[in-house]
Amino acid sequence: MTVAAALTLLQGVVTAVLGVVMLVLVFAGTPDNTVQALTGGVTVLLLSLFPLLAGRGLWLLRRWSRGPSVIVQLLALPIAWQLWAMGGVWQASAPAVTAVALVVLGCLMNPVAAEALGAVPRDT
């Protein structure tokens, strides 16, 4: 659970940093469409809350956190595919994004993780 929580939190932090960088670039440069660039930065920043909250929930062993974290990982896989297709420095990040998503999914699908989160039926 610690690995899954830490990696999910890391995904949230990286996403938040990307959102902040996008916002800084809006004000530091001259984007083609300021409103669109600003909206993109704010959207990415807000989306970073999803893995941050899921990671915190995993860290605190909250039952509800497993689903959101799985969703984050399932969304990370097509993002990694797109990063690979973009080429250049983005292509270099695709294997890392894929590996993190698969490791977290493996951790969360483990029966021990389900038991730790209380996601299995209890004996009565």
Q: What confidence tens digit (pLDDT) does each residue in 15-33 have?
A: 999 999 999 999 888 888 8
What is the domain extent for residue 50? 2-116
**Number of domains making up the chain:** 1
Is 122 inside a domain boundary? no
Is 123 inside a domain boundary? no
Low-confidence residues of the chain, pLDDT below 50?
Answer: none
Task: Note the pLDDT of residue 44.
Answer: 93
Is 104 inside a domain boundary? yes
Task: Note the pLDDT of residue 54.
Answer: 96
Contact 64, 57 (CB under 8 A): yes
CB burial readout 54-78, b (16+ within 10 A) else e: bbebbbeeeeebbebbbebbeebee
Its pTM stands at 0.86
Cα–Cα distance measured from residue 103 to residue 85, given in angstroms and rounded to the nearest whole number: 22
Is 121 inside a domain boundary? no
CA 86 to chain centre: 19
Q: What ranges make up the beta strands (E) of 23-88?
A: none
Token pair belonging to 61: 């062993």
Is 75 inside a domain boundary? yes
Q: How far apart are the first and last CA of the chain?
A: 26
* Identity of the residue numbered 25: L
